[in-house]
Amino acid sequence: MKKVTVKLVLENGIELPKYMTEGAAGMDVKANISEPLILKTLERKLVPTGIKMEIPYGYEVQVRPRSGLALKHGVTLVNAPGTIDSDYRGEVGIILINLSNEEFVVNPGERIGQLVLQKVYKMEFEEVEELSTTVRAEGGFGHTGK
């Protein structure tokens, strides 16, 4: 597997994000908070990570939810996946939302998301009079069933 170097600046005491298993696609990232943070039902909050990155041009880092938080607690990301662009140099923040019917407590240092590096291709548009036809055509939004 090809490795790409992403430069990091970490606030004091912040651990380097890491892969939790050999085959993991995402590196876990933790909450950089000094005291527990309560997420009420349907509440969303920006949770700091204490991490700043220099992502190589031609790549993005996606912020994705942790499946355990989603399944066990109904906590996920509002904008999943979130995109960190290669020219952004500010602190990475994770926008958590509590979709459960109970309050959820985010503790300092708790794993709250995953970071996945992705190659990005620039789009170029070509305006045309019509598009090629397909069997699907304009069918969408559940046109094949539930």
Q: Residue 47 falls within a domain, yes or no?
A: yes
Sign of CA dihedral 33, 41, 75, 64: negative
The answer as to whether 12 is a domain residue is no
The whole-number pLDDT of residue 20 equals 92
Q: How many C-beta atoms surround the C-beta of residue 92 within 10 A?
A: 22
Report pLDDT digits (tens) over 95-138: 999 999 999 999 999 999 999 999 999 999 999 999 999 888 87
Q: Is residue 15 part of a domain?
A: no
Q: Range of 73's domain?
A: 25-119
- Checking if the pLDDT of 143 tops 80, the result is no
What is the CATH classification number for the domain harbouring 68? 2.70.40.10
pTM: 0.86
Q: How many structural domains are present in the chain?
A: 1
